[in-house]
Chain A
Amino acid sequence: MATKTIAGKTVQVNDEGFMTNPAEWTKEIAIEMAREEGIESLTDAHWKVIDYARQSAASSGASPTLRTITTGSGVSTKDLFALFPKGPAKKVAKIAGLGKPEGCV
């Protein structure tokens, strides 16, 4: 398993850079990860989504899908795309220190 040093902390990641242990996550890591994904600063609206995703993953054991996020957090799909452009479910999972969402097969 690969590791990566981010925001001064060494964490475990998979080959696509998703953290594999959500317990290693910190808010500083989120800020740094967001920058790598092209999001310069995390606003309250971003945090609302990130917090929701962490909660949802803690109770279900899996990264939330796009739909789970919109239904559960009350943020509209359009806003979600504005906050996390292109692939919101993937980006949110990455920034929130969760595994890659088990995608479509």
Chain B
Amino acid sequence: MTSISEEIKTLESPIDVMYLMHKAYMIHSNRTVSLAEKAMSGGSLTELQANLEGWLKHLLYHAQTEDIYMTGPLKDIEHQDGRRPARDNEKEHDELRLLGGGIADYVEKGDKGALSEDIAALVLSREEEEHANLVHKAENAERALHQALGEARVVDRTRRRLYQKIVEFQVTEFDHFENEEAFVLPLVKGQMSAEQELECSRRLLFDDDSETTRWIIDFIYNELESGERELLKQLESSFSGPAPT
């Protein structure tokens, strides 16, 4: 699997750009996790939020493009343990979308996020009561809990949980990268023609629907070491420019 500490020295095939991309994303994830850790001891949320948004934006584009241009055209196989690489890959993307969306919602709730979450769980566990009544009382319970714990503890609790959510997201992401590299890339190499593979790689690196088509590839360049940037440059030179839409 891609490792942050090891330099990628060759790309045997265009789809191997995945290793460079995953590495860049892993570096960014690690940075975001560090910011979330600092936020627990009073660090600013602004930089964390910006990093988190970037993480989600890239991962959403990456997953969507893979679903359409990578696993979409593949003929799936079934391993002895029941794993179906292409479909399982798409399911893992769905899980990432769900987790990522959950974090974005949580951040929007601000410093009371953890309490709101606790109270929402409480409401869900009490199905027998009339909903409106329950919500009203749960809000009172939230106020009481807030009062008992005090402002500082409420903020700490929210940030602790944000850190936990971000680490959980990272673990799911790294597991996914590992699975994709081990099970999907061999299928891509076995089934796609050289042109198809090149086009898939290009789509992963360039957003044809954006005014700034290079927002992905430029981000990847920024995260990599010089030797790896060279590999990416060579691959980029083999693209003939944006495909006609």
Q: Do A and B come from one complex?
A: no
